[in-house]
Amino acid sequence: MKIIVAGAGMGGMIAAERLAKLGFEVTVYEQSPSLDEMRYDWHDDVNPRIFRRLGLEMPAGSFKKKSWTFVSPHGVVVREFRQDENNADFSVERRALNRMLYERASAGAKFVFGAKVERPVVEKGTVVGVVVDGKEARADLVIDSLGANSALKKDLPVEFGVTQHREDEVFVAYRAFYEKNTDAPAPKYTNKVYLKHMGEPGISWVIQDNDPSLVNVLVGRIGKLSSYDLERALEDLRKTNPTIGEKVVRGGEICVIPVRYPATRMVANGYAAVGDSAYMTIPMLGSGIASGMLAGQLLAETIGDNMSKGVKKEDLFKTSRLWKYQVKVFREFGAEHCAVDILKRGVLNFPDATLDWMLGSDLLTNDEIGCLASGKMLRVGVKEAFRKLSITEFNRLRILIKVNNMLQKSLHAYRVAKNIPRNFDPNICRTWEKHMKWFYRAPRRDR
């Protein structure tokens, strides 16, 4: 049986490797001209547990991530997070990781570079292939690893119900490594992230803790990032970070990253989405390498389990069988991402002055700041709730009530997501999806 992986994303390559070992004929179509040109030239933070889970070595050159320092919307308040070194993420070079995954996958799967996947081929309610550079390529299963703006997902029939995103559910980010201005004073904080930088929806960061010759800069905004807003943000960052030089040494590109809860429908007959195509990033930060890689493994596991149970070939890639993969995703990490998305939307909806106060006061503990930094859901016990109440001035109790409501909603979303139907029944699953979507209706912004 044939499997096509559209796009050589991290999760797609994990799936390609593991499915080839199960005996499938796997072909990976990648738009980039070559292996060396198919990944951004920068490093990203990854939880090291994913490498142990998948039996992989961490790529050479990876380094332990240092603690974040959070800066309030207009730079009024700075709050340092004290990292537990034993639980720190590692920054991993994307191209090194990419090469490692490619070498493993290409041992059993065929890679075709310079191949643009244009749209799906659908017959009788089933995806039966893709159109690549104007020509049809047939397969029994198509794995969508094309990213948030996948051409496959966009052109699937509406009746498939595969999740599409809103504009405010993606993060448009500029990332560049600038030559360091060594004449400038050494920074007090080496890992600064600016929440709602300049009062705009999104974040910026300035990191200078590993390579002494470079400054890692990101400017990201929800929905869109105009050239004007980018230049304003860079100018503002340079005012408080004079180490940022003028020359871009690495990166200098704009990318689109999903920052929302996972797709509530990521499978259809003959189709499965992994990674960014199914919105598997941590909503607070946009980090998605670990979850995408794990999803590739979970998809291969699901198919392998169905084979071992004697499922007929013609039924192997039906929605009812692939749904088990989605169940695994939500129970492994997707439910927590749903909870974190509630927190992210809540934080973006807070007035700037509220964020200034929350960061500047003792309302948030170091562990809670750490949860926000690592994209984990917040859980507040009764004792801690009373502590927060005791230190909150009367005129700020309204804020505390809003924070509590946000936390309760986050926990509710987590529980509903975790309770994803075990088996695929169209009506039951549709009801669950509607319940999930209810949590993420666009909120009314505070005045």
Q: Tens of pLDDT along 193-219?
A: 999 999 999 999 999 977 889 999 999
Q: Which has more pLDDT, 423 or 401? A: 423
Q: Is 207 helix (H, G, I), strand (E, B) or coil?
A: strand
- Give the percent of the chain with pLDDT over 90: 70
Side-chain half-sphere exposure of 139, counting CA atoms within 13 A = 27
Q: What is the mean pLDDT of residues 282-309?
A: 94
User: Who wins on pLDDT, 390 or 52?
Assistant: 52
Query: Is a pLDDT exceeding 90 seen at residue 237?
Result: yes
Q: Residue type at 143?
A: I
Fill in the DSSP letter of residue 215: E
The C-alpha atoms of residue 153 and residue 143 are separated, in whole angstroms, by 11
Predicted confidence (pLDDT) at residue 330 exceeds the cutoff of 90: yes
410 within 8 A of 343, measured Cβ to Cβ: yes
The answer on pLDDT for 266 being more than 60 is yes
Question: Confidence class of residue 443 from pLDDT cuts 50, 70 and 90?
Answer: low
**Residue 444 scores a pLDDT above 70:** no
Predicted confidence at residue 380, as pLDDT, reads 77
Taking the C-alpha atoms of residue 397 and residue 360, their distance in angstroms, rounded to an integer, is 16
The DSSP call for residue 312 is -
Of residues 343, 329, 216, the one with CA closest to residue 277: 329
pLDDT digits (tens, 9 = 90+) for 151-195: 999 999 999 999 999 999 999 999 999 999 999 999 988 889 999
Let me know how long the chain is. Answer: 447
Q: Which residue has the higher pLDDT, 419 or 44?
A: 419
pLDDT at 425 over 70: yes
Report the pLDDT averaged over residues 244-249. Answer: 96
pLDDT of residue 447: 37
With contact defined as beta carbons under 8 Å apart, do 349 and 445 qualify? yes
**Mean pLDDT on 145-153:** 96
User: Between β-strands 117-123 and 126-132, what pairing exists: parallel, antiparallel or unpaired?
Assistant: antiparallel
Token digits of residue 249: 């040494």
pLDDT score of 75 more than 60: yes
Runs of H (alpha helix) within 350-376:
352-360, 366-374
Distance of CA 101 to the CA centre of its chain: 19
DSSP-assigned letter for residue 414: H
- pTM score, whole prediction: 0.93
- Residues 267-286: pLDDT tens digits? 999 999 999 999 999 998 78
The backbone region for 224, taken as left when phi is positive above 0, alpha when psi lies in -120 to 50, beta otherwise, is beta
Strands 2-6 and 25-30: parallel
pLDDT of residue 442: 66
Identify the three-state secondary structure at position 119.
Answer: strand
281: burial class by Cβ within 10 Å (0-12, 13-18, 19+)? buried
What's the number of CA atoms in the CB half-sphere (13 Å) around residue 380? 21
Rg (CA), the chain: 22
What pLDDT was estimated at residue 68?
A: 81
Do the Cβ atoms of 197 and 74 come closer than 8 Å? no
Q: Which residue has the higher pLDDT, 8 or 74?
A: 8
Cβ neighbours for 226, distance < 8 A, ≥ 6 positions apart: none
Does 230 have pLDDT greater than 70? yes
Q: Is 365 helix (H, G, I), strand (E, B) or coil?
A: coil
Which has more pLDDT, 378 or 100? 100
Tell me the two tokens of residue 87: 């639980």
Share of the chain above pLDDT 70, in %: 97
**Residue 446 pLDDT more than 60?**
no
Helix (H, G, I), strand (E, B) or coil at 51: helix
CB 221 within 8 A of CB 202: yes
Phi and psi at residue 428, to the nearest 5°: -65, -45
* pLDDT tens digits, one per residue of 379-391: 777 677 768 778 7
